[in-house]
Structure 1
Amino acid sequence: MSQTLAITGINLKSVPERWGPSLVIVIGLAGVVAVFTALLAMAEGFSSALQASGRSDAAIIMRGGSSAELNSAFDRDSALLIKDGPGIRRGADGKPEAAAELIVITELLKKGETQTGSNMTLRGVEPASFTLRPKLKIVEGRTFQSGLRELVVGRGVQRQFEGADVGKVLRMRGSEWTVVGVFEAGDATDSELWADAEVAQSTFGRRGYSSVLAALDGSDAIDKLKAGLSADPRLNVDVQTQQAYFSGQTKQFRTMISILAGVVTIIMGLGAIFAALNTMYAAVSARAREIATLRAIGFGAMPVTVSVLIEAIVLALIGGAIGALIAYVLFNNVSLSTLSANFTQVVFSFRITPTLLLRGLAIALLIGFVGALVPAFQSAYSYRKTWAIVAVPLVAALVALIGVVTGMSTAGLLRMVLTVVVVTAIHSAIWYFAAGALLKFAERGPRSTFVRLVLSVLAVFPGIVLFGPVLMVATFRLIWSGEPRNLSRDPLLEMSKAL
């Protein structure tokens, strides 16, 4: 331990003398972590906005086959039948706690724009709509009066769009509406404009509703409601909890952003790995005489190796921390909007969580580890021994990196890493002893076609487990080549030359 600390101290003190290559690692990983964190923060913010809108004790009922409220429609009679369905909670007055709501697409100009408007959701609501959303509060002005063309707008709408302040008049689809209040719910509702359902129907020429929102009376109420409404031949409906509905709305967007983040991170990560690999090789090469001197005066091979790894990991963590800080300062709580399943704007904010920051730092650490592993061991060991030693941790680190990027669960990640470690360890042992011996025999043994064929099969079999076609082709070419090669000393090096 004392040797490791001593050499590590020397390495870190010499970093300023090698600031150029070291800066490549730091800047590269800062970029990787910043981009990864920002992209997933966008997905996290969008998901949070929609999922916060959903309640497990409320049901949303739409026309059968409808994927969103926009393409759902009920007439008045159907809405009344749905409200009277089984499993819907009733108030003290005996009336069902349910509201029929209407979705109308309108346009508003974003602040700073003068020509092209953005699609917005105008929701025609009933009085029960407010009580069914207990988090919704009027924070400015008042609520609208029934029978009048008055609006209350969400906080997100007020923040991003022109004319959405209290007292302003909005012109929408040939009609004028007065903004009388601003509400805040902390979810996707903040991206909507609310008006009296009857007034919205008469103004925009609608005869029915888009959906019905209802409070559920108990844990099994959703099943009762589904069964009751499905049994009514007058209705064709889909029933689901509000929570399930909004969860489905977020899935596609979150998946798309996660894939994008994964692809971008892997591409940038590969660049960072090669940068770390090149930097650490250069560092080891520049200090070859110093390392040889340390070995000559009694320092062990492992302390030298560990010191190189620690240097790379320290640089990686510095880069990761800088990237995480950049992402947090520039993006956290920054408001933006995107299209929802209703093809209207949903306003949400980037949400950088501690988990995202830790994932970013883990990615930086793993990239630094992978990039420095081979140079670190080659600073003290031969080429062949290096690859025999690093195969297990290298593959395990790469698998862990993929798991962290894709957001795999901790249990799933541990199972995968453990499986890969076991398989790689078995393969490394087989290859190092069996394949090495076979290749040595092939180099010096008989050259008959039959013997070469047998040796080819035996030597390449271990490669199928991990290295696949590359190792198979390389070994095959070596055994069948007429050129003399020192395979017993450095098989992997000779294989790389053969390729």
Structure 2
Amino acid sequence: MLLPWEYGVRNLARRPVRTALTLVALATVVMLVFVVVGFIRGLERSLAVSGDENVVLVYSVNSEENIENSSIAARTPSLISASFDSVVDRFGVNHISPELYLGTRVTSSAGDEGLGLVRGVTLAAPLVRRSVQLIEGDWPEDGEVIVGRLAAAKLGSTNAAMSIGKRIEFEGRSWTIVGRFAAGGAAYESELWCPLDDFQTATKRQDLSLAAMLLSPSGSPAEVKLFCKERTDLELRAIRETDYYATLQQHYKPVRILAWFVVVLVSGAGVFAGLNMMYGAVAGRIREIATLQAIGFRRRAILVSLIQEGVLLAAAGSLLSGVIALTMLNGMAVRFTMGAFALRIDSVAILIGCGVGLLLGVLGALPPALKALRAEVATSLKAV
């Protein structure tokens, strides 16, 4: 026969201070798990939604995977346009976006200075970067920029300092913010966009970093790759945009593995913390446990009751952490080497966080309960 369910609940209420401390400790451990898993899920989602299967990037073969170091001739987009019929052409406008992309020191209106990602673009950019949407303000003209939704986080500044009408400085010039854009969580959201000609003048460069081209459904990236291989004088390489961000996924794989290792370490630390607190809780109830055995309750029933108490506390701590994570952490911007991305507390993060919390409740209660039940009843009844 098992002990009544209410017995374990009442036991938690009899020791409010100890119960509250245990609850806070468990909630803290689960919260750390939410933060780390949210970081991993946010990074993976940012890279996953950044690519477009119909977009091909053409950049310098010498830059390897780092487009910021790429340098191609300014005539490259026109050469590509003349060489392929598969590039989308609507109303006489070829969907090829010449871009100058680099990292540079940016100073916000609040005086915050950080390494920002600036992309010089033309009016063709939103035709190719179809996930980009101007959510506020206007398209930039000379001396103006539009900022991504997460650009402030990338610079370590505030949204107020990066709002419309504020001025920022980079490449020795002052620029006026005239708009804000979003890209559905893609990597572009941490960038600053300005007119290509203006940016080339500021950087004293006439070359480009890349040309992004939108292919029609009948087009093939293999044709572009073949063109780049045949034109050895141009030293170009082509890659489908989704493949490019897939390589970044592999590049950051060690970071993700390390983050999962941190989840394991945090969970292990939580188990030991739970063991310590449960040992203390059970040590003060030796006579109570012995009395329950003396009046006829089996050890299995008492063990289930003690685990029930641990699981109840762990479930409450997981629920508390889950609410805080969803309301305060979900969507929080995190600065990273590739730019910035938002923490993502999704169903997977909730499942892992709550699963770890419940596991802590079981593993934390089981060893001390077994130790207390192994003691002789007569000896335990005399315990102080």
Evaluate the alpha carbon distance shift between residue 350 and residue 72 of structure 1 in structure 2; reply closer, same or farther with a 3 A threshold: same
Evaluate the alpha carbon distance shift between residue 168 and residue 24 of structure 1 in structure 2; reply closer, same or farther with a 3 A threshold: closer
Q: What is the CA distance between 1:85 and its match in structure 2?
A: 5.1
Evaluate the alpha carbon distance shift between residue 38 and residue 110 of structure 1 in structure 2; reply closer, same or farther with a 3 A threshold: farther
Pairing partner for 1:335 from 333, 342, 347: 333
Q: In the alignment, residue 128 of structure 1 is paired with which amino acid?
A: A
**SS of structure 1 residue aligned to 2:199:** helix
Which residue number corresponds to residue 121 of structure 2?
Answer: 125
8 Å CA contact 1:88–1:225 kept in 2: the answer is no
**SS of structure 2 residue aligned to 1:108:** strand
Which residue number corresponds to residue 365 of structure 1?
Answer: 358
Distance in 2 of aligned mates of 1:52 and 1:301 = 54
**SS of structure 1 residue aligned to 2:323:** helix
Which residue number corresponds to residue 224 of structure 2?
Answer: 225
Quick one: percent identity of the two aligned structures? 25
Evaluate the alpha carbon distance shift between residue 205 and residue 304 of structure 1 in structure 2; reply closer, same or farther with a 3 A threshold: same
Q: What is the CA distance between 1:247 and its match in structure 2?
A: 3.8
1:76-155 → structure 2 map (5 Å cutoff): 76-84=74-82, 86=84, 88-93=86-91, 96-110=94-108, 112=110, 114=111, 117-145=113-141, 148-155=142-149
Distance in 1 of aligned mates of 2:175 and 2:270 = 55
Distance in 1 of aligned mates of 2:225 and 2:6 = 68
Which residue number corresponds to residue 57 of structure 1?
Answer: 54
Distance in 1 of aligned mates of 2:351 and 2:256 = 19
1:248 aligns with 2:247: yes
Q: What is the CA distance between 1:366 and its match in structure 2?
A: 1.1
Q: Which runs of 5+ in 2 are unaligned?
A: 377-384
After superposition, the C-alpha distances for 1:31-65 in whole angstroms (9 at most, x for unaligned) are 11111212332343344344332212212222124
Distance in 2 of aligned mates of 1:85 and 1:5 = 80
Q: Which runs of 5+ in 1 are unaligned?
A: 341-345, 384-499
**SS of structure 2 residue aligned to 1:195:** strand
1:189 aligns with 2:174: no
1:352 aligns with 2:348: no
Evaluate the alpha carbon distance shift between residue 117 and residue 162 of structure 1 in structure 2; reply closer, same or farther with a 3 A threshold: farther
**SS of structure 2 residue aligned to 1:143:** coil
Displaced runs of 4 or more, over 6 A:
none
**SS of structure 1 residue aligned to 2:2:** helix
Which residue number corresponds to residue 201 of structure 2?
Answer: 202
8 Å CA contact 2:72–2:236 kept in 1: the answer is no
CA RMSD of aligned residues (A): 3.2
Q: In the alignment, residue 269 of structure 1 is paired with which amino acid?
A: S
Which residue number corresponds to residue 42 of structure 1?
Answer: 39
Evaluate the alpha carbon distance shift between residue 234 and residue 368 of structure 1 in structure 2; reply closer, same or farther with a 3 A threshold: same
Q: What is the CA distance between 1:206 and its match in structure 2?
A: 1.0
> Over alpha carbons, which structure has the higher Rg?
1
Distance in 1 of aligned mates of 2:342 and 2:29 = 21
Q: What is the CA distance between 1:84 and its match in structure 2?
A: 4.5
Q: In the alignment, residue 88 of structure 2 is paired with which amino acid?
A: R
Q: What is the CA distance between 1:87 and its match in structure 2?
A: 7.8
Evaluate the alpha carbon distance shift between residue 301 and residue 164 of structure 1 in structure 2; reply closer, same or farther with a 3 A threshold: closer
Q: In the alignment, residue 148 of structure 2 is paired with which amino acid?
A: G
Evaluate the alpha carbon distance shift between residue 378 and residue 139 of structure 1 in structure 2; reply closer, same or farther with a 3 A threshold: closer
Q: What is the CA distance between 1:296 and its match in structure 2?
A: 4.1
Q: What is the CA distance between 1:286 and its match in structure 2?
A: 3.9
Q: In the alignment, residue 31 of structure 1 is paired with which amino acid?
A: T
1:174 aligns with 2:167: no
Q: In the alignment, residue 200 of structure 2 is paired with which amino acid?
A: Q
Evaluate the alpha carbon distance shift between residue 314 and residue 63 of structure 1 in structure 2; reply closer, same or farther with a 3 A threshold: same
Evaluate the alpha carbon distance shift between residue 291 and residue 240 of structure 1 in structure 2; reply closer, same or farther with a 3 A threshold: same
Q: What is the CA distance between 1:381 and its match in structure 2?
A: 5.2
Which residue number corresponds to residue 449 of structure 1?
Answer: none
Evaluate the alpha carbon distance shift between residue 246 and residue 74 of structure 1 in structure 2; reply closer, same or farther with a 3 A threshold: same
**SS of structure 2 residue aligned to 1:123:** strand
**SS of structure 1 residue aligned to 2:59:** strand
Distance in 1 of aligned mates of 2:75 and 2:136 = 36
Report the TM-score when normalising by structure 2: 0.82
Distance in 2 of aligned mates of 1:96 and 1:141 = 26
Evaluate the alpha carbon distance shift between residue 124 and residue 363 of structure 1 in structure 2; reply closer, same or farther with a 3 A threshold: same
After superposition, the C-alpha distances for 1:256-312 in whole angstroms (9 at most, x for unaligned) are 26524633x444433432333344344444444443443344433322222221111
8 Å CA contact 1:34–1:327 kept in 2: the answer is yes
For CA contacts below 8 A with separation 6 or more, give which structure has more relative contact order.
2
8 Å CA contact 1:25–1:272 kept in 2: the answer is no
Q: In the alignment, residue 135 of structure 2 is paired with which amino acid?
A: V
After superposition, the C-alpha distances for 1:191-246 in whole angstroms (9 at most, x for unaligned) are 22222223322332112110111113337712332233223323433322222323
8 Å CA contact 1:51–1:246 kept in 2: the answer is yes
If each structure's strand is expressed as a fraction of its own residues, which one has the higher value? 2
**SS of structure 2 residue aligned to 1:160:** coil
Evaluate the alpha carbon distance shift between residue 297 and residue 60 of structure 1 in structure 2; reply closer, same or farther with a 3 A threshold: same
Which residue number corresponds to residue 275 of structure 2?
Answer: 277
After superposition, the C-alpha distances for 1:94-146 in whole angstroms (9 at most, x for unaligned) are 6642222111444333464x3x621222212122211112232333332234x
